[in-house]
């Protein structure tokens, strides 16, 4: 690394313009990385180049990662591997492959956690892991993880990562709307000058602090700080934080009543996004600019800008992003009074929602249906407004009589709007009630059919098999198998009917079902000790589908233990945690190798149980130790 620093110092000697120097720095690093004869110098150049990713497009970032791979494998030292994997995880995060980033960072940390020469790199990796938690919106968990990182930085006197962690904690509080706490953290990082080394990019701290102050109405101070953040972003060539700072500044000057100054800032941010080459950011910033035009009366600019954003979304196959640009177009046409195009955009939004409607999960269907119907009503109202506008326009040319007529029609139109609004609201309420009533009737109908058909058939199997068993020893095993199957059918049927009686069930009711099942198993398998521990949460309501899937998984887990584990004791345990409710099924049987079981066709239904948990949106985990037993954990938020 020292050879590379000498080469770069000679290259930049005498260069005074920071932004130009940043561009030249990237170019020089590329030149060294691709052409230097010394493989160690080339690797160092690529690693430094990857740290400049905030000034690169995603495409360029990806290419540099690919080009560096062979050199990294050739050198293969702990330091080089940690730095490379740290940057590669950042790329995964940028392109939305969060699981890949999490896996790469976790495996790298585990591999090198005992290596004394890479403690700084490991702290950076831990900070990135905590940031992945923050990226999922788990701010409380993120703060806890960041505080753990902060403690390690103080023990190891790592001021750089200490600054990163402090900034991230402040960001978590900011995202939760706890601006006073966020401000305190950002100020703490800025005031402790030891944290602000040349290697630490300060621009994001100043931008974050400015954003918080803007949210609490301290606009003048926010403007000073965001200007400092912009200067620092320019100084280190961080184009991403520079564009963020310009957008924050635009919001601040609007709040200060200087709307005319916001447009050039938003335009600069868009131009920077273009240089980076991230189509999503470019189009989103343009849609934001279009909204600004709509609210400042610059409708033609707003329409043109929104259409350009739509073109970028289309060229990059970002169809799901169309809605943001459509919202901006809709607002511009509505404020302009162009109801014809306003109605056209609403139709396009409906068409887009139709296509998105078919690919959304079942859990989102109800919400999408409601939004879909509301959008249709909004289109109808817009078309009615257009018709009234055209009629009124003809009347205005009739002179004095037209003026009187216009006053009359304006009054009637207002009444009409009020009436239409009331009718629309009543229809919406009636539609929602009708859907809910239809769902309830269908649930009861299916439950009745299951009871009348499957229930009767299962009881018939039990009765006929009993008759078949009389006096015929050879049929005993077959009959017993039929009876067990029928009993299992009846048990599953009872649980299904229980779940279908209502759309929601209480945790207490679910726990009672588990208790009854354990008692029933105790009667059938007297040599096994079935025990219960804990109590359910008193005020937790869950969907009937989730409750049924939880109960079926527990029943299958207990049956697997009875059939395969040879346990002495099986325990069902209820554990109340701060953030969730856990149900544990524990046995002291012989255990099994989970991975081997999954590879076999007969995997005790592990795959089916995992699929049930995923579909019903709760956590399912199984742990097993040979000759010690198995524990199944179900976590309900």
Residues 488 and 596 in one domain: no
Which CATH number do you get for residue 612?
3.30.565.10
| Mean predicted confidence (pLDDT) in 465-482 | 61
Read off the DSSP letter of residue 192: -
What pLDDT, on a 0 to 100 scale, did the predictor assign at position 23?
A: 60
- Return d(Cα 481, Cα 468) in angstroms, integer: 12
Q: Catalogue the long-range contacts made by 29-34 (C-beta closer than 8 Å, 24 or more residues apart).
A: 32/4, 32/7, 32/8, 33/67, 33/68, 34/67
Residues 456 and 542 in one domain: no
Q: Could you tell me if residue 586 is inside a domain?
A: yes
Q: Could you tell me if residue 602 is inside a domain?
A: yes
621: its two tokens = 């985990």
Domain count, the chain: 2
Residues 488 and 475 in one domain: yes
Residues 448 and 510 in one domain: no
For residue 21, pLDDT over 50 is answered with no
Residues 589 and 473 in one domain: no
581-587 vs 629-636, strand pairing mode? antiparallel
428: its two tokens = 């919406």
Share of the chain above pLDDT 90, in %: 30
Most confident by average pLDDT, 132-146, 247-261, 274-288, 312-326? 247-261
Q: Could you tell me if residue 416 is inside a domain?
A: yes
SS3 569: strand
Of 620, 610, 612, nearest in space to 583 by CA:
620
Residues 510 and 473 in one domain: no
430, with CB counted inside 10 A (0-12, 13-18, 19+), is exposed
Read off the DSSP letter of residue 603: -
Q: Could you tell me if residue 613 is inside a domain?
A: yes
Residues 416 and 490 in one domain: yes
Read off the DSSP letter of residue 76: -
SS3 563: helix
Contact 249, 224 (CB under 8 A): no
Residues 530 and 454 in one domain: no
In the sheet that holds 569-576, the strands lie side by side as 529-533, 569-576, 581-587, 629-636, 619-625
User: Quick one: CA dihedral 238, 243, 246, 252, positive or negative?
Assistant: negative
For residue 222, pLDDT over 80 is answered with yes
For residue 387, pLDDT over 70 is answered with no
569-576 vs 529-533, strand pairing mode? parallel
Q: Could you tell me if residue 481 is inside a domain?
A: yes
Of 447, 474, 501, which closes a domain? 501
Angle at Cα 216 formed by Cα 261 and Cα 223, nearest 5°? 35
Residues 520 and 438 in one domain: no
For residue 219, pLDDT over 60 is answered with yes
Read off the DSSP letter of residue 579: S
- Return d(Cα 399, Cα 420) in angstroms, integer: 30
Q: Per residue, what are the HEC states of 448-503?
A: HHHHHHHHHHHHHHHHHHHHHHCCCHHHHHHHHHHHHHHHHHHHHHHHHHHHHCCC
Question: Could you report the per-residue pLDDT of 38-84, keeping only the tens digit for each?
Answer: 999 999 998 988 888 877 878 888 999 999 899 999 999 999 999 99
Contact 55, 238 (CB under 8 A): yes
Q: Which helix (H) or strand (E) holds 631?
A: strand 629-636
Q: Looking only at Cα atoms, what is the longest distance across the chain?
A: 106
Of 67, 77, 66, 71, nearest in space to 37 by CA:
71
SS3 574: strand
Contact 72, 84 (CB under 8 A): yes
Q: Distance of CA 140 to CAs 99, 168, 184, 563, 578, Å?
A: 20, 12, 17, 42, 12
Residue corresponding to tokens 């000498």: 6
Q: Which helix (H) or strand (E) holds 532?
A: strand 529-533
Q: How confident is the model at residue 468 (pLDDT cuts 50, 70, 90)?
A: low
Question: Could you report the per-residue pLDDT of 409-447, keeping only the tens digit for each?
Answer: 778 888 888 888 888 878 877 766 665 665 566 566 555
15, with CB counted inside 10 A (0-12, 13-18, 19+), is exposed
CA neighbours closer than 13 Å in the CB half-sphere of residue 377? 17
Cα end-to-end distance, the chain, whole Å: 49
Bridge partners (DSSP) of residue 587 are 570, 630
Read off the DSSP letter of residue 584: E
- Return d(Cα 138, Cα 135) in angstroms, integer: 7
Contact 152, 126 (CB under 8 A): yes
Bridge partners (DSSP) of residue 530 are 570
Q: Could you tell me if residue 583 is inside a domain?
A: yes
- Between 600 and 235, where is the model more confident? 235
483: its two tokens = 């009876």
- Return d(Cα 216, Cα 178) in angstroms, integer: 10
| Mean predicted confidence (pLDDT) in 341-352 | 86
Strand locations in 553-625 (E): 569-576, 581-587, 619-625
**Region at 621 (left for phi over 0; alpha for psi -120 to 50; beta for the rest):** beta
Give the length of the chain: 637
Q: Could you tell me if residue 68 is inside a domain?
A: no
For residue 103, pLDDT over 80 is answered with yes
For residue 99, pLDDT over 60 is answered with yes
- Return d(Cα 497, Cα 501) in angstroms, integer: 6
Of 476, 501, 526, which closes a domain? 501
Angle at Cα 605 formed by Cα 599 and Cα 608, nearest 5°? 100
Of 309, 275, 315, nearest in space to 292 by CA:
309
| Mean predicted confidence (pLDDT) in 109-122 | 93
CA neighbours closer than 13 Å in the CB half-sphere of residue 181? 12
Residues 629 and 518 in one domain: yes
Domain containing 443 equals 410-501
Lowest mean pLDDT among 104-113, 170-179, 485-494, 627-636: 485-494
Question: Could you report the per-residue pLDDT of 554-576, keeping only the tens digit for each?
Answer: 988 998 999 899 999 999 999 99
Of 446, 472, 501, which closes a domain? 501
178: its two tokens = 């706890």
Residues 462 and 494 in one domain: yes
Question: Could you report the per-residue pLDDT of 151-195, keeping only the tens digit for each?
Answer: 888 888 888 888 888 899 998 888 888 899 999 998 888 877 544
145: its two tokens = 């993880």
What pLDDT, on a 0 to 100 scale, did the predictor assign at position 375?
A: 45
Contact 343, 382 (CB under 8 A): yes
Residues 528 and 569 in one domain: yes
Q: How confident is the model at residue 251 (pLDDT cuts 50, 70, 90)?
A: confident
Q: Could you tell me if residue 573 is inside a domain?
A: yes
């Amino acid at each position: 690394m020292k050879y590379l620093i000498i080469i770069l110092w000679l290259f930049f000697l005498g260069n005074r313009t920071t932004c130009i120097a940043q561009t030249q720095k990237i170019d020089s690093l590329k030149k060294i990385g691709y052409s230097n004869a010394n493989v160690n110098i080339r690797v160092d150049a690529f690693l430094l180049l990857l740290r400049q990713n905030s000034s690169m497009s995603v495409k360029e970032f990806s290419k540099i990662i690919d080009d560096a791979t062979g050199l990294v494998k050739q050198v293969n030292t702990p330091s080089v591997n940690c730095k490379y994997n740290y940057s590669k995880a950042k790329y995964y995060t940028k392109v939305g492959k969060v699981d890949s980033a999490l896996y790469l960072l976790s495996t790298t940390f585990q591999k090198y956690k005992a290596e004394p020469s890479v403690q700084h790199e490991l702290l950076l990796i831990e900070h990135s892991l905590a940031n992945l938690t923050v990226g999922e919106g788990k701010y409380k968990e993120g703060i806890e993880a960041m505080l753990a990182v902060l403690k390690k930085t103080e023990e190891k006197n790592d001021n750089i990562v200490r600054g990163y962690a402090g900034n991230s904690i402040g960001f978590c509080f900011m995202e939760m709307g706890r601006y006073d706490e966020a401000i305190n953290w950002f100020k703490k990082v800025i005031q402790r000058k030891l944290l602000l080394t040349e290697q630490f990019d300060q621009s994001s701290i100043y931008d974050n602090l400015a954003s918080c102050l803007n949210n609490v109405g301290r606009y003048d101070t926010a403007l000073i700080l965001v200007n400092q953040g912009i200067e620092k972003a320019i100084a280190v060539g961080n184009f991403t934080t520079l564009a963020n700072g310009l957008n924050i500044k635009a919001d601040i000057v609007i709040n200060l009543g200087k709307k005319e100054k916001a447009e050039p800032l938003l335009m600069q941010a868009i131009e920077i996004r273009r240089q980076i080459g991230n189509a999503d950011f470019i189009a989103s910033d343009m849609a934001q600019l279009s909204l600004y035009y709509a609210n400042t009366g610059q409708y033609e600019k707003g329409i043109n800008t929104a259409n350009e954003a739509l073109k970028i979304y289309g060229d990059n196959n970002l169809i799901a992003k169309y809605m943001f640009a459509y919202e901006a177009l809709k607002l511009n046409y509505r404020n302009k009074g162009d109801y014809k195009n306003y109605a056209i955009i609403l139709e396009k939004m409906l068409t887009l929602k139709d296509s998105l409607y078919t690919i959304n999960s079942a859990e989102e269907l109800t919400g999408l249906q409601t939004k879909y119907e509301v959008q249709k009503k909004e289109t109808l109202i817009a078309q009615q407004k257009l018709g009234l506008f055209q009629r009124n326009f003809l009347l205005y040319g009739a002179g004095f009589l037209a003026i009187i007529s216009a006053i009359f029609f304006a009054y009637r139109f207002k009444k009409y709007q009020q009436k239409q609004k009331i009718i629309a609201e009543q229809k919406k309420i009636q539609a929602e009630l009708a859907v809910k009533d239809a769902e309830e009737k269908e649930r009861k109908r299916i439950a009745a059919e299951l009871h009348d058909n499957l229930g009767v058939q299962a009881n018939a199997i039990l009765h006929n098999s009993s008759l078949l068993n009389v006096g015929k020893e050879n049929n005993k095993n077959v009959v017993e198998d039929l009876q067990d199957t029928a009993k299992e059918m009846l048990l599953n049927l009872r649980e299904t009917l229980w779940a279908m009686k209502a759309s929601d069930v209480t945790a207490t009711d679910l726990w009672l079902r588990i208790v009854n099942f354990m008692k029933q198993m105790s009667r059938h398998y007297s040599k096994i000790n079935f025990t219960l521990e804990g109590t359910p949460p008193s005020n937790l309501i869950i969907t009937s589908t989730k409750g049924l899937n939880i109960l079926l998984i527990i029943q299958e887990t207990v049956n697997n233990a009875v059939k395969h584990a040879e346990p002495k004791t099986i325990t069902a345990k209820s554990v109340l945690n701060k953030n969730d409710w856990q149900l544990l099924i524990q046995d002291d049987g012989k255990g099994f190798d989970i991975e081997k079981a999954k590879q076999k066709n007969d995997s005790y239904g592990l795959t089916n149980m995992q699929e049930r948990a995923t579909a019903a949106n709760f956590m399912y985990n199984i742990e097993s130790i040979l000759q010690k037993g198995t524990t199944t954990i179900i976590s309900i938020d």
